[in-house]
Amino acid sequence: MNNVVILISGSGSNMRAIVQAALREDWSGRHGARIEAVISNKPDAEGLAWAREAGIAAEALDHRDFASREAFDEALMQAIDRHSPALLVLAGFMRILGPAFVWHYQGRMVNIHPSLLPSFTGLHTHRRALEAGCTVAGATVHRVTADLDLGPILGQAVVPVLPGDTPEALAARVLAQEHRLYPRVLAGLLADLAAGR
Ligand code: GRF
Residues enclosing ligand 1, CB less than 6 A? 8, 10-14, 91-92, 112-114, 139, 175, 178
Percent of the chain whose predicted confidence (pLDDT) is above 70:
100
Asked if 113 is an active-site residue, the reply is yes
Q: Pick the atom of ligand 1 nearest to 13's CA.
A: 14
Q: What is the pLDDT of residues 43-65, one digit of tens each?
A: 999 999 999 999 999 999 999 99
pLDDT for res 147: 84
Q: Pick the atom of ligand 1 nearest to 12's CA.
A: 12
Q: What's the average model confidence in pLDDT over 66-90? A: 97
Q: For the domain 2-194, what is the CATH code?
A: 3.40.50.170
Nearest CA to ligand 1 atom 5: 92
Q: What's the average model confidence in pLDDT over 14-24? A: 98
The CB-side HSE value for 115 (13 A sphere, CA atoms) comes to 19
Q: Residue 93 pLDDT > 80, yes or no? A: yes
Is 40 strand, coil or helix? strand
Domain ranges of the chain: 2-194
Q: What is the pLDDT of residues 143-162, one digit of tens each?
A: 999 887 889 999 999 999 99
Closest to 111 (Cα-Cα) out of 76, 146, 148, 77: 148
Q: Pick the atom of ligand 1 nearest to 112's CA.
A: 4
pLDDT for res 148: 76
Identify each DSSP E strand in the chain by its residue range: 2-8, 33-40, 57-60, 85-90, 109-113, 136-143, 153-160
Measured distance CA(158)–CA(178) in Å, rounded: 10
Q: Pick the atom of ligand 1 nearest to 175's CA.
A: 2
In the chain, the amino acid numbered 146 is A
- In this predicted structure, which of 100-104, 146-150, 192-196 has the lowest mean pLDDT? 146-150
Cα 196 to middle of ligand 1, angstroms = 30
10 neighbors 92 (Cβ within 8 angstroms): yes
Q: What's the average model confidence in pLDDT over 122-139? A: 98
End-to-end CA distance of the chain: 15
Cα 120 to middle of ligand 1, angstroms = 15
Q: Whole-prediction pTM value?
A: 0.97
Cα 171 to middle of ligand 1, angstroms = 9
Of 31, 83, 113, 142, the catalytic one is: 113
Nearest CA to ligand 1 atom 3: 92
Closest to 56 (Cα-Cα) out of 42, 74, 40, 77: 40
Cα 68 to middle of ligand 1, angstroms = 25
Res. 35 pLDDT band, cuts 50 70 90: very high
